[in-house]
Amino acid sequence: MPEHRFPPLAAALLIAALLLPGAAAANPSWAGGRAIPLAGFPLGDMGHEAAVAQLRASSGREVCFHTGVALVCARRQLDWFHVEPFSAHFRSLTDPTIEDYLRREQPYDCAGSFKCEGLGIALFERLQGNDPTSLEGLPLIALTGLLTRAGIPVLQS
């Protein structure tokens, strides 16, 4: 089967759109999805060896993640999409560091093979971007903006 590659921006939008349970929903639905530019690594569930290889490939590098969010509601005629870029500057990681991290956190179902909201934060020198929740798979600042724009305030004034 041929392998299809999308640019990270397009992949993030596609993932977000495909995760929506039904684009014709009467009520607003949203979904998010994260794509990474490291070729040859699957998104989502992966085993230990693939996670080791992915963290080795990220070691000492800046990796820009693109996380898409989609807000769709047929009744309101909404089909809005947003992609949030966010850069992770990885520390130089040794094999023992990678093995220890993976053994302790087991982030095999996460794009990038880390959980920045947990021990994964120790893998980085710095994080750079407007919405840190995008690294968790759903850019909540962007989603809040889309909901507000749609007339659905998250907090009442």
Which residue in 148, 142, 7 sits closest to 70, CA to CA? 142
Residue 3, C-beta contacts closer than 8 angstroms, at least 6 positions apart: none
Q: Where are the domains of the chain?
A: 8-149
Whole-structure pTM value:
0.76
Q: What is the pLDDT of residue 37?
A: 60
Give average pLDDT by consecutive 10-residue segment, the chain, 157 residues.
Answer: 44 56 57 61 72 94 87 72 90 98 94 91 96 89 89 83
Q: Dig out the tokens for 115 from the structure.
A: 């959980």
Run of H or E residues at 66: strand 62-73
Lookup result for tokens 């996460």: 110
In CATH, what is the architecture of 8-149? Alpha-Beta Complex (3.90)
Q: Dig out the tokens for 47 from the structure.
A: 């085993």
Q: What is the pLDDT of residue 29?
A: 66
